[in-house]
Amino acid sequence: MATFTHHHHGALLKTPLSGRARIPGSKSRPGPFRVRMSLQETGPSLAVVGVTGAVGQEFLSVLQDRDFPFCSIKMLASKRSAGQNLNFLGQNYVVEELTRDSFEDVDIALFSAGGSISKEFGPLAVERGTIVVDNSSAFRMQEGVPLVVPEVNPEAMEGIKVGRGKGALIANPNCSTIICLMAATPLHRHSKVVRMVVSTYQAASGAGAAAMRELEQQTHEVLEGKPPTCKIFQRQYAFNLFSHNSAVLPNGYNEEEMKLVKETRKIWNDTDVKVTATCIRVPVMRAHAESINLQFENPLHEDTARDILKKAPGLVIIDDRTSNNFPTPLEVSNKDDVAVGRIRRDVSQEGNYGLDIFVCGDQIRKGAALNAVQIAEMLL
């Protein structure tokens, strides 16, 4: 039986759309009676950009859960959201409008406000000496910008630290890339992946809080026999699935699929690895699932693979063939760990040169906010 860390969220913005699963018997972190060590005079000053969005809210939850030390925190968002009140660690904060002057004396800024905002304000923050951890796609493939999953390639951000008076940009990979590489990398280190085929089953949360609300709304509407409201995806999402809503490129792949291809090569520092992907939206609230087929340079027995994955940080194995119990999006919702199962030899390949695995990970947590905060922890 897999055991996850379960998270209690403080009173942030009230939202009905978190889609949090309550798993009976899952272990909880200590509750609110624990002494909070987060607010520390010696800690860095923080800013959260896009704080009222789904990932922005999760940034705060993860900072709280991990007792991230800080001396001050700025809550930044668009002009439309400015003036809202939020409660964080028992203190009230007023959301401020993001401006060119928002980054005076800010050590670390966590950005999740979309690519155009990151492109405009990220470099301005760096000029002020802020280290920006950006969750958008704006800088991921830019030369010289580290693209980091802390369990996979921490060496990419070597030399970037708070207190050196120097700003920097660090990119958070795409959610589907993070979840995929958490499981594929330990096996790649052992036997070298030469080809990877990924099919994704991606949750509403990847398209933001409005998409999560619309999935909930559509579900009610369809069950009541009403026509569904289709503003975000321009189609029925409830009780349906469809090709990922990102733009389709001239080669027939969509942008999401090509992110997986390009980001994997950059993170693994391997331009030769062959990667192909098909990305699908499914009516799930906040956790992605991925079917991954791996072809290796060196043979890897499925039992060895299982042992490797059991020891890998940030993973939990759910692989019970007898009771047909494997990872599900609901089980990993609001959890830090990526779940791995369906570990089996690929019978279409000779010998032990191929493996199939199935992974599920919380798109808002490890796919976005948790990964960014882990990067921030490495800056201290």
Write the secondary structure of 146-186 as one string of H (helix), E (strand) and C (coil).
Answer: CECCCCCCHHHHCCCCCCCCCCEEEECCCHHHHHHHHHHHH
Nearest Cα to 242, choosing from 279, 203, 281, 202? 281
What region, left, alpha or beta, does residue 51 occupy, with left being phi > 0 and alpha being psi -120 to 50 degrees? alpha
Do 112 and 59 form a contact (C-beta atoms < 8 A)?
A: yes
Q: Which H/E stretch holds residue 360?
A: strand 354-362
CA distance 18 to 58: 10
Q: What are the residue numbers of the active site?
A: 175, 288
Paired sense of beta strands 354-362 and 85-88, if any:
unpaired
Do 184 and 263 form a contact (C-beta atoms < 8 A)?
A: no
Do 359 and 337 form a contact (C-beta atoms < 8 A)?
A: no
